[in-house]
A and B are shown apart, each in its own frame.
Chain A
Amino acid sequence: MAYIEFKQVCKEYKMGEVTIKALNKANLQIEKGELVVIVGPSGAGKTTALNILGGMDTATSGDVIVDNKNISKLKNKELIKYRREDIGFVFQFYNLVQNLTAIENVELATQICKDSLDPEKIMKKVGLADRKNNFPSQLSGGEQQRVAIARAIAKNPKLLLCDEPTGALDYKTGKQILKLLQDTARKENMTVIIITHNAAIAPMADKIIRFKNGTAESVEINKEPKPIEEIEW
């Protein structure tokens, strides 16, 4: 059995009288330690799938199994617990707490987890050891995203979910971020799922899932993932 499994997952939004199916019987499987890239056009349901997987949203129907746990059946509080302990999130817009320094943003996450990692070490790992006491506003976009990643991985989550992590970054910085994510997956053997509309970065992944019209249209297993440095777009 796969580490992560979507079984016939549906997600419907009611907008007045119109029902929009964001996910329509989506099925997919992800193994532990895989670096997965999900690609697809806007509105294909990839973010919805990620949100459901991250416990930020619930499926209308179907099962979402993560590490033998059906998270689609979880109650709100259990969902929060799941989020708290198993998930690390990285957003397009970093979402750092402006009032906290870089390391404090990391601490914000670690102080609520049991098996958290040492924020100092994480900061070193993401290469921000000497900027750790700066406020987000004093950091560049790439640095902020690094802080965001640091914050996500400091919790030592089972899954690292990244929604367009380079969307707001320039090419070079974006590359550095992707490298960080790839390294993290490799070194920490962490399951990392990256959503992107940029299909060009797909070769870095172990598995590439393509979304279209609310379903995982195809799953491609990349036997030889390329290091990010070798990928150009």
Chain B
Amino acid sequence: MKKALIKDSFKEIKIGYKRFISILLMALLGVGFFAGLRATSPDMLNSINQYYQNQNVYDIQVMSTLGLTQEDIDALKNIENVQNVYGTYSKDVLIKTEDKELVTKVMSIEEVNKPRLVEGKMPENANQCLVEPLFLQVTNKKIGDTIQVEEDTEETSEDEEQSPTLKEKELVITGTAQSPLYISMEKGTSNLGAGKVDYYIYVPKENIQSDIFTEIYITLQNAQNYTTNSTEYKEYVKDTKDKIEEIKEEREQARYNSLITKANDKITEAQDELNTQKQDGENKIAEAENQINEGKAEIASGEQELEEQQSVANSKFRQAEQQIASAKQTLQTSQTQYEEEKKQAEQSFAQAETQKQELQKNLQTVETSLTTINEQYEKIIEELKKEDITEQEKTILEQTKQEIETQKKSLEQNQVQLKNGIAQIEEQTAQGKEKLQQAEAQLAQGKATIEEQEKTLQETKASTNAQIASARQKIEQSKQEIQTAEAELQTQKEEFNTKIQEAEAKLLDAKEKVNEIKNPEWYVLDREQNQGYASYIQDTNSIENLSIVFPIVFFAIAALVSLTSMTRMVEEERQEIGTLKALGYNKFDIALKYVLYSSLASIIGGIIGMNIGFQLLPRIIWMMYSMMYKMPDIIVSFNFTYATIGLGLIYLCIVGATIYAVLKEAKEQPATLLRPKAPKLGKRVLLERITPIWKRLNFTQKVTIRNIFRYKKRFFMTILGICGSTALILTGFGIKDSISAIIPNQYEEIFHYDIQVSLKSALEETQIQDFVTKLEEQEGITQVAELNMISGTTKNAELQEDVQIIIPKDNTQLDKIMSLREIKTKQKIELNEEGIIITDKLAQLIDAKVGDTIILEDANHITKEVKVTHIAENYISHYVYMSKELYEELFEKTYQTNILYIQDNNLSEEQENNIATQLLKQNEVTGVSLISTALSSVNNMMNSLNYVVVILIVSAGLLAFVVLYNLSNVNISERIRELATIKVLGFYDKEVYDYVTRETIILTIIGILFGLVAGYFLNFYIIGTCEIDMLRFVKEIHIQSYLYAVAITILFTLIVNFITYFALKKIDMLGSLKSVE
């Protein structure tokens, strides 16, 4: 390229910087939007890919209806491309906190699907666990706190293999973590609690005891070489899945066989045991009966014996008593004899005494006489002795002495005689007394003997009686014992019989069950069956869809704007081109300048745009999605492909338009070029031929209309640009309307309850009724509806969707608390026994229509076919409404209230909170949720939608601005002569401005009108593509949104017009008119 031309090109940029910048801006917007939006979906995919690689997330998951074994793992390991096979455990448990009962999924920490630690540290001991961050918030616990796991252990009966149970049930929280398996809020269904898994926790493998694995996760060799969800990845996974499917049947059969064998073995064992036990039992009963009979006989003989003994003893006693009586009689006679004898003896004793006394008197007299004699004798002797005594005296004295001596001798003889008599009497008396005494002694002895005999008899009698009594008692006792034994035997017999019967029934049951053991079914799943992953991928798809539509608008407008811009530029420099041509430059040299100009604008704009786009758009979009997905932050990257495509496209649009314009001009002869281009010829417009209308228009209107149709390119450009930007703005507001209407629609139009109360599952009907009555009486509460809510799944052909099944206790109660109605007609729908009512979005997702029969599965995997009678309006989540009668008939279960919907009297949030706290303290309640709090949290999420609106408005505004500004510039430069002329004619600035902008305003209005229509459809297209499965976006755009869209577009138009005003004012009349046209 010639140096002079290059210089000229850069000068051109300097002079025509406005045009340059406007083209650059177009490129910036176009590429920025394209690249940024297009890159968002890959960036999101890349983020999840990276995340899944880091956490070593499975490629294939195998589950079985009957659990999985080590043999299964071994078999899977042998499959080609399989890198690792992990058997893992999971189980649903209840965790009770102060006020809540949370259904929690316990998972084992494995090398596969590693939890992403958010805070704290990994558990080291069996009694430690990780929880999800939300769990701490909800339960008000901290790291280091303990939680108590309540496990449902009755499920595992003896003859079954043990499914996972926790060894430690008191777990210390060591940290918080997020599971790559549950990136969305949905954690699936459970047969515990309200039927939904609320949270998950991770425990070390050592804490789990199990005979079987609940699931097997497989990672594939070199899978990390493919991006998840890419076609290659999907194919690779599918190939391996197919191979697993090949061994599936064999494994299922093997598992079935082993289960059946085991079960059968157990049954025979049980049978044997039952038989032996039966025999044993019967034997034992017989023996016991024998013993009882024997005992009875013994008692009978004992009784007889006892009777005999009694009579013998009695006769003996009688004899003895007779003997004693006769002995007593003898003794009596002896006694009387003895009494008589005694009397006689005493009489004789008395005689003897008197004799004795006489004798003694005699003796005394004798003795006294003796004493006197003796004294006389003494005196004589003494006198004798005396010397003086004469012998007469002596012989008288001697004679007296002799006489005294003889007297004395007789006296002494007398005395001896007397003494002898006394002695004799005394001896006789003594003898008599002795005799009496002897008799008395004999008598006493006889008496004593009799008494002794009597006593002995008495004693014998007593002891014998006692003996007999005790024997009798013993017999009585044994009799009683035997009676109780008999009763016991009877009950035992009965018990034994029922037991045996039960055992037999059980055995029969077990046998039946064995027959019922279905072939285990393997489910070979991949990541797409993971709910969180699938909805994430779905969202990336909807963003991708979005990213196709939006940039098209920008590109189309960019291309058109640059086409007009560059065409004008070329036209303006027509003479220069002619001169160059005349000088001998060929058309490529000439074109090069413009190509360089537009290339620079598009490349600089494009590069700035893509860098902004790549950084900004994915992050902003992620900001919205990160509220729904628990994942590490998005990884934004410079997407080379989209950068190239975006830049290429914009380059093609802008430079292509330039080349087109230049070549069109340059192919003419230099001479023609040097002459001014014939101005666009005036032409009559179609409207002029409709005289009645045309006549009514005033001059300026006519001029305006003719001018509008004069510049067709500009006409379309303006309309398209304005249309595009209005449509974008309307879409922005429309999306916001649609989404923000969801909540009010759901909770004001459809649901009328304010508080949802979950009840304990094991409540009696009366307890529930009491509780409900109590609630109904509470101040502020206007309505209480009882219902049974269970989680389930609906299936229709290949399609399936998780749902909440609502079974009202009473249809009229339900009507007061929610409005089931047709979507279009808003007509009330009645719940009947013929079938179920399903919600609108669910119907769409499973492709079900009124009258179709679909499959309904409850949390226990019982499937039933049921007819859809109505489709009801609904916006959040999926519900199936079913009458109590139908439910009981279909699922053969009794209705049990587990949820109460409470409507209050427009209470404030604080009052509602008070009610909630109070309710939670009740024993019957496991959980309370307030619609108001749910609303405010959702409202926060909705605020993020403002970003979308802002992005759309800003970009649409920029678009409108660039388009209008560009067109206004082109317009002025194209018509500068005309404008100068009218200025010369004396048009005031305002009039000149009006003269030009009247056209712009009309075109803007047309553009806005088209834009509103286009926006209406674009909005629904976008809502259709990015609608989340769980939600039904409301298909409505508020009147305000139309107004805003119009107002904002007009605002941008006004800004451009304001700029135009000054541009017009600055027009140099003289310069413009002097030049040759």
Contact = CB atoms under 8 A, between A and B. Distances in A.
Interface residues of A, number: 34
Contact of B991 (A107, A112, A155): A112
Interface stretch (B58-66, B153-161, B1069-1077): B1069-1077
Given A80-B989, A84-B987, A87-B986, A104 B702 contact: yes
B973 interface: no
Interface string A80-124: 111111010101010111111100100111011100000000000
Contacts of B679: 98, 137
A93 B1073 contact: yes
Nearest to A95: B981
A77 B1065 CA distance: 11
Interface string B707-736: 100100000000000000000000000000
A80 B985 CA distance: 9
B981 A104 contact: no
Q: Which of A89, A113, A151, A155 is the most central at the interface, judged by chain B CB atoms within 10 Å of its CB?
A: A89
Given A99-B703, A99-B710, A91 B682 contact: no
B419 interface: no
A101 B699 contact: no
A104 B699 contact: yes
Given A99-B706, A99-B707, A104-B702, A136 B682 contact: yes
B386 interface: no
Contact of B683 (A87, A108, A135, A155): A135
B699 A137 contact: no
B1070 A135 contact: no
A83 B702 contact: no
Given A100-B706, A112-B991, A85 B682 contact: no
Contact of A99 (B682, B983, B1070): B682
B988 interface: yes
A106 B700 CA distance: 13
A56 interface: yes
A81 B987 CA distance: 8
Contact of A83 (B706, B977, B986, B1073): B986
A91 B984 CA distance: 11
Contacts of B980: 95
B1070 A57 contact: yes
B682 A137 contact: yes
Q: Which of B707, B981, B991 is the most central at the interface, judged by chain A CB atoms within 10 Å of its CB?
A: B981
The prevalent SS among residues of B at the interface is helix
A135 B679 CA distance: 12
A77 B988 contact: yes
Given A93-B1077, A95-B981, A99-B710, A85 B703 contact: no
A137 B681 contact: yes
Nearest to A79: B986
A56 B700 contact: no
Contact of A98 (B702, B978, B1069): B978
Contacts of B982: 97, 108
A155 B977 CA distance: 20
A213 interface: no
A61 interface: no
B680 interface: yes
Nearest to A99: B682
B981 A93 contact: no
Contacts of A29: none
A109 B978 CA distance: 13
Contacts of A176: none
Nearest to B992: A80
A151 B181 CA distance: 82
A108 B710 CA distance: 17
Given A95-B1073, A98-B680, A136-B682, A80 B988 contact: yes
A51 interface: yes
23 contacts: A54-B984, A56-B984, A56-B1069, A77-B988, A77-B989, A82-B986, A83-B985, A85-B986, A87-B986, A95-B984, A97-B981, A98-B679, A101-B682, A104-B699, A104-B703, A107-B699, A108-B699, A108-B985, A109-B985, A111-B699, A112-B986, A135-B682, A137-B678
Given A93-B1077, A95-B1073, A155-B985, 4 more contacts: A83-B986, A97-B981, A98-B680, A112-B985
